[in-house]
Amino acid sequence: MSTDRRRAILEGAARVIARRGVRGLRMEELATEAGVSTALIYYHFKDRAGVLRHTLEFISDRADRYTSDASGPGHPDGHDGPDGPRDALQELEQSLLLEFQDLPEVRENSTAWGELRASAIFEPELREDLARATLTWIYDVADLLGHIRPSTPAPALTAAAERLTGLLEGLSTRWLSGALPLDHARELVKEAVSTEVERLGR
């Protein structure tokens, strides 16, 4: 059925991008990966750029999903009990560390995200979607920081979130390029979180 194939193509694109990069994405390899013909890809996505755009969207949605899963079923509405800040800290750490796992889906997401980010330097069409997704991420993190340090002015929360997410993108690229072992990356992230939280508290 139509929708299934569409999805298969997008999932395939995420895998191929993780393996070869955006620059290495070949329509034919994608076709094979997804088990369809190249023509069908063009039928559904118009052209190569269309595939990239929709893959970005697909990736972001998927990341949203597993990121919000990390909050756990406990406080879906963001309401904290007396031990709120404690939990919120854990939750923040958790959600940031999700990016650093050696699981196929995570690697795919990180790789594709990094690739699309890097591509956007030279392909302005991607910028808008990317900017939106980035903002959402930053606000989510700022929100968690707000739970940990209530009564911190919003701009300070946002700035801290920008630093944490920015660091994550930097470390992620290093990890994926083999320049930084996974557990060391996780260590650095944890330290960064505690450093930022402490800063907000002083």
Residue that the structure tokens 């620059």 belong to: 23
The torsion region of residue 109 among left (phi > 0), alpha (psi -120 to 50) and beta comes to alpha
103 binds, among a copy of itself, DNA, none (CB under 5 to 8 A by kind): none
* Closer residue to a copy of itself in complex, CB, 57/69: 57
Question: Could you give the CA distance from residue 67 to residue 94 in angstroms, rounded to a whole number?
Answer: 9
* Closer residue to a copy of itself in complex, CB, 75/174: 174
Residues that bind DNA (CB under 7 A): 1-2, 4-6, 25-28, 35-40, 42-44, 47-49
Query: DSSP letters along 60-83, please?
Result: HHHHHHHHHHTT-SS-TT----TT
114 binds, among DNA, a copy of itself, none (CB under 5 to 8 A by kind): a copy of itself
DSSP secondary-structure letter at 179?
S
Residues that bind a copy of itself (CB under 8 A): 19-24, 111, 114-115, 117-122, 124, 127, 130-131, 134, 159, 162-163, 165-171, 173-174, 176-180, 187-188, 191-192, 195-196, 198-199
